[in-house]
Structure 1
Amino acid sequence: MTGSLAISPAARDALEQWLSHLRALDGAAEATVSAYARDVGRYLAFLAEYRGGAEGLAALATLPQADIRAYMAAESARGVSPRSTARRLSAVKGFTRWLADRQGADATAVLAARSPRYRRKLPRPLAEDAARAVLDGVGEDARDDWVGARDTAVVTLLYGCGLRISEALALTGAAHPLPDTLRITGKGGKQRMVPVLPAARAAVAAYVAACPHDLTPAAPLFRAVRGGPLSPRPVQAAMERLRHRLGLPATATPHALRHSFATHLLSAGGDLRAIQELLGHESLSTTQAYTAVDAARLMEVYDRAHPRA
């Protein structure tokens, strides 16, 4: 990291304390903590180089906006996208807010810095008939019947319950038979209750009946061919084979099934707040992206029904 050696020991220690705070009190996932460590570390290294030396902690909390703008300009010059710069600035603000509270400093200038504008990528759900085709066909190319049943169970949980693939693969044998509602631990350790549809319960039961491995309560529910924990890759590969066979777009990934769950539920009149809870989104604004998808699909239907001359 350019200039990282110029970061003062005090700043480096403060960064480690903040990261520990995120782990212990906020329950942040280790991947999130690692990303924050990289982002804030780069920021501190930039400041040390830009300002000609390591800054004291109080100075870090009370930087002028010109310095923050210089940091974002440097990120842009390095080819960092506006979306990534916005994410990094969010990490910087989180660290600065924590630091200012400890130092009794006024961090208004840093916290008021505006993120670069960028166009949010809309979720890319499957059409309802395509989603059904995925559930019906994902297991057909499997090397063994039980593997096909396994892949079908996983994608049925993604589409039927709106789970992330990591959440589905984190289930243990204790989850079978699936109850009416599942307690899911999502990003940042946040827990939510998710209703289980009969189709998901039946798909998991069919997999368990066919699985040759001993599915003990404490062990992973979904297993790889050799019996170890199942990783996302085999499910992704099964989706790749299926989308080539069905002529689906490259966006037809396992995660697209979670998008499809939300979009189809919204189209059927689902409440946005309820969908937010089901998906485990921290912010309603994240869930609101599905309203844009729904509106875009409506306009496509309108354009087909009323073509322009």
Structure 2
Amino acid sequence: MTPLEHALARWLEALAVKALARSTITMRRRCLKEFIVWCAERGIESPDQVTRSVIERYQRHLYYYRFPESTTKNGRKVGLGQPLSLRTQHLYLSTLTVFFGWLTRQRWIAANPATELDLPKTPRHLPREALTVDEIERILAATADAGELGLRDRAIIETLYATGIRSFECAQLTVYDVDTQNGTLRVNEGKGRKDRVVPIGERACGWIEKYTSDLRPKLLIDANERTLFLSYRGAPMTNTTLGMIVRSYFQQVGVTKPGACHLFRHAMATEMLNNGADIHHIQLMLGHSSLNTTTVYTHVSMAKLREVYERTHPAKATRMATTVADAAALFASLDAEQDVDDAAA
């Protein structure tokens, strides 16, 4: 084991002690191993051999890197000479910054060589394409042709669409997390290890009840297994497996949009927003700690945008009249907000 590999093992141990999510630790391990392999090819084996110049060379390597083979990821083809995305480059480099920062604090090295590294700016794109309600209904209907497991798949997709939870959050649901009587679903240790409770609709509850009564007992092998959605072997499923299942229904009904489970999260947030939901409520549903994350879903339809424009823009003759009471309430709320700001100043 080289000094760099030893330092990586110690850092990963420190992350585990701090109770970081397993997925975060796995991602950081992968990023650092790529860097260590690159360093080894150039005779660099110790942390104190890594200078700012070395990291800048690695940054150029990431920029010019091209995939040697074609692979498929979430319905998209990558490879065949394609570069790493700016987001991926940023991830690899920011991981180095954190790693060498930890080494500096632990006195393994005198200074962090990545401190002043200029990270690539990651573009903040709107979701490429959201699923339409018609597409979702066709996907749901396709589960009827999948035999007994189609019942499980219908319950999974209904859950994803009804609640907007992430695929890994869905995969780790237990039989105790869904309260079909009260219409609530509990997410345990979601992203950032945060718990939350979200509402779930009657239709989704109905399909979950049917799955748990008619099919889950047949799949169950271990009586102590509490995971809600089981594979045909009676074992818990990974979020990757969920993605493959969902993607197979996309292909059956001719939906070619890239992505899988996450598209139902996008669809839920978009439809709720278009139908008048407050963005703060959507934030709570999605488990976002910041509105900056939720605003990616504010790509409302042009029809909705034009409706609001026609109703509110002062240049439009058809604008809605505002009563004195409405105006008073509006300005009172603004005054209250200003009072809060003044008190905090």
The answer to whether TM tops 0.5 is yes
Query: Cα deviations across residues 79-115 of structure 1 (Å, max 9, x unaligned)?
Result: 25133211101211111222222239554x6233222
Deviations 1:122-165 (A, max 9, x none): 42321233224433x14211223xx2321111111101111222
* Alpha-carbon offset, residue 56 of structure 1: 4.8
Matched, 1:128 2:130: no
Verify the 8 A CA contact 2:143 2:154 in the aligned structure 1.
yes
37 and 214 in structure 1: CA distance in 2 versus 1, 3 angstrom threshold? closer
CA contact (8 A) 2:167 2:262 kept: yes
Which residue of 2 is the match for residue 224 of structure 1?
231
Match of 2:30 in 1: 38
Instruction: State how 1:30-109 maps to structure 2 within 5 Å.
Output: 31-47=23-39, 53-57=44-48, 63-64=51-52, 66-79=53-66, 80-81=83-84, 82-103=86-107, 107=112
Matched residues, number: 282
Instruction: Give the C-alpha shift of residue 282 in structure 1.
Output: 5.7
Q: SS of 2:114's equivalent?
A: helix
Contact 2:164-2:268 at 8 Å conserved across structures? yes
**3-state SS of paired residue (1:140):** helix
Cα distance change on mapping 1:246 and 1:39 into 2, 3 Å: closer
CA distance in structure 1 between the aligned counterparts of 2:249 and 2:25, rounded to whole angstroms? 35
Separation (CA, whole Å) in 2 of partners of 1:270 and 1:23: 39
2:297 to 287, 290, 293: 290
Instruction: Spell out, residue by residue over 1:241-260, the C-alpha distance to the aligned partner (whole angstroms, 9 max, x if none).
Output: 54455443243633211221
In the alignment, the residues of structure 2 paired with residue 251 and residue 228 of structure 1 have an alpha-carbon distance, to the nearest angstrom, of 28
Q: Contact 1:175 / 1:217 at 8 angstroms: preserved in 2? A: no
Which stretch of structure 1 is more off in the superposition, 176-185 or 14-23? 176-185
For structure 2, the 5+ residue unaligned runs are 67-82, 307-345
Offset at residue 235 of structure 1 (A): 5.4
One-letter amino acid of the structure 1 residue matched with residue 131 of structure 2: L
Residues 111, 198 of structure 1: alpha-carbon distance in 2 compared, 3 angstrom cutoff: farther
Q: Select 2:255's aligned residue among 248, 251, 255.
A: 248
Of the candidates 12, 20, 25, which is equivalent to residue 5 of structure 2?
Answer: 12
1:23 matched to 2:16: yes
Structure 1 residue runs of 5 or longer lacking an equivalent are 303-309
The CA deviation at 1:219 is 2.6
Query: In 2, are the aligned partners of 1:139 and 1:238 still within 8 Å (CA)?
Result: no
Which residue pairs with 1:307 in the alignment?
A: none
Give a deviation string over 1:148-190, Cα, whole Å, max 9, x none.
3211111111011112223222222333544524133224533
**Which of 161, 166, 169 does residue 168 from structure 2 map onto?**
166
Output the amino acid matched with 1:37.
R
1:254–1:125 distance in 2 versus 1, CA, 3 Å: same
1:288, distance to aligned residue in structure 2 (A): 2.8
Larger deviation, residues 180-189 vs 230-239 = 230-239
Query: Which of 187, 208, 223 does residue 204 from structure 1 map onto?
Result: 208
- Confirm or deny: 8 A CA contact 1:224 1:231 kept in the other structure: no
> Within 1, Cα distance between the matches of 2:179 and 2:198?
15
Which residue of the partner structure matches residue 69 of structure 2? Answer: none
Distance 1:174 1:186 in 2: 16
Secondary structure of the residue that 2:145 maps to in structure 1? coil
Shift of 1:36: 1.5
Q: Which residue of 2 aligns with 1:175?
A: 177
Identify the structure with bigger relative contact order (alpha carbons < 8 Å, sequence gap 6+). 1
Q: Post-superposition shift, 1:278?
A: 2.6
Give the distance between the partners of 2:252 and 2:32, measured in 1 at CA. Answer: 45
SS across alignment from 1:72: helix
Give the aligned CA root-mean-square deviation in angstroms. 3.4
What TM-score does the superposition give when structure 2 sets the normalisation length?
Answer: 0.68
Distance 2:40 2:259 in 1: 44
List 4+ stretches of structure 1 deviating above 6 A: 299-302
Query: For 2:143, which of 121, 139, 143 is the aligned residue?
Result: 139
* TM-score calculated relative to the size of structure 1: 0.75
Does the CA-based 8 Å contact 1:183-1:191 persist in structure 2? yes
